[in-house]
Amino acid sequence: MTDRTQYEDQLTIDRNSLDSAVIEQPTLFYAVADLAAVARDLHETAKGNLDDVAAETANRLRIEAEQKGAKTTEGRISEQVTISDAFRSASEDVRMYKLEAERANNLKEAFMQRSSMLKLLVDLYTASYFTTTSVRTGAPAEAINAKAAEG
């Protein structure tokens, strides 16, 4: 999922643009939460497909054994199912979608953390922390002063 990477870049908070970050946060969080929901759904769909592949393969193996008059056991059928190409491919899909769902969920949690950090940064800004302690001189102070002069 390439959509996830576009949101990863937006996790960083520019303390000189807290107003923009606060305004964008709900929209970004909603988009990331939706991305996580879609990733979970794809993972669940892949798990269902794996179950279907296993059942279809087992059924096919039973029919083939019956047509040949060969005796087989459920254990042997189960072994043959797990080594079949279709099952291995479906298992790989489950693994891939699970990883993507976990990454999307991690991103969602990171945006929840970003929301908390925004609140703390706004509180610090309101308490004049940045103007008296953190950015008295240098490029960040100039950016704050330039932004203040614009507004």
- In terms of Cβ atoms closer than 10 Å to its own Cβ (0-12, 13-18, 19+), residue 77 is middle
- Residue 140 near residue 43 (C-beta atoms within 8 A): no
**Owner of token pair 């393969």:** 57
pLDDT digits (tens, 9 = 90+) for 91-134: 999 999 999 999 999 999 999 999 999 999 999 888 887 765 44
Question: 31 pLDDT exceeds 50?
Answer: yes
pLDDT bucket at 136, cuts 50 / 70 / 90: very low
Question: 2 pLDDT exceeds 70?
Answer: no
Amino acid 151: pLDDT: 56
Please report, for residues 15, 42, 45, the alpha-carbon distance to residue 99 in angstroms, rounded to integers and kept in the order given.
32, 11, 14
Classify the phi-psi angles of 14: left when phi > 0, otherwise alpha if psi is within -120 to 50, otherwise beta.
beta
Question: 73 pLDDT exceeds 70?
Answer: yes
pLDDT bucket at 15, cuts 50 / 70 / 90: confident
**Total residue length of the chain:** 151
